[in-house]
Amino acid sequence: MEQEQLPISEQEGEKQQSLAEIASAGIVSAPMPTDDSPLSAASSPEAEAFRQEIILAGRKLWQRQYVDGNGGNISVRLGSRYVLCTPTLVSKGDLVPADICLSDLDGNILAGERSRTSELLLHLEIYKANPRARAVVHCHPPYATAFAITGVAPPNGLITEFEIFIGPVAVAPYETPGTKAFAETVLPFVQEHNTILLTNHGIVCWSDTVTHAEWLAEIFEGGCKTYLLAQQIGKPLQQIPSNKIEEILALKQRMGLPDARL
């Protein structure tokens, strides 16, 4: 037998009365997260998609031997207030969604089961200094890191893809990793360089997505490796003509890619 339905206004009145009775009895349920709360941000569909992208990038870094042990870290901006980042002491080849932490722009962990990477400060300095940076990848590819321990950047004007997507590479001075001083070493370069060598350490790349930042690491490592192999051939290296470099720079400007030569 169907029950008689109360008018909507009366249903709402009973609902409010019931809530008032629950509250007066001291039985108050947990408040629902607001749209901009950490809990809401951490559980959003966008955050879930970013976690999967971070996990995929982490596996690529590990498979390509750009990281070892628990080395390297990945982050991505989530809205204007938050950052998703990889945790400390976890191999980038073993990441699962629950590992990914939610931080604010001061490095405070707001959601997640693990402690954040100690080098999150580096990522945050990049985000604060350059609004175009929406994702950051830090890793230790062997050929690129070989340049990092010499404090010298690879030469330009040799490989087309390297020129288009990266261009001149800055070399940040050494500081102890995980410190604020270390994080600030990239500040003079982060506007005009999307890939920076960290002396005696590795590289850091920023881009509009995690995938694209990981691509920069691949392109940079590939360029360093190819240059070192080419030197072993014993023949002069062929430079891209200067007028063709100008064409590449015009292309980069149309694509919105940074370059210190622009």
Is 113 labeled as catalytic in the residue annotation? no
Placement of tokens 């990239």 in the chain: 186
CA distance 207 to 202: 17
DSSP 170-228: EEEPP--TTSHHHHHTTTTTTTT-SEEEETTTEEEEEESSHHHHHHHHHHHHHHHHHHH
Structure tokens at 56: 């995929």
CA distance 112 to 84: 10
CA 23-41-195 angle, to 5 degrees, is 160
CA distance 196 to 168: 9
CA distance 255 to 121: 29
Q: Is the dihedral of CA 120, 126, 129, 133 positive or negative?
A: negative
Longest Cα separation, the chain: 93
Helix (H) or strand (E) holding 246: helix 242-255
CA distance 43 to 25: 31
Q: At what angle do helices 45-63 and 210-233 cross, to 10 degrees?
A: 20
- Annotated catalytic residue: which of 53, 119, 175, 218? 119
Known catalytic residues are 119
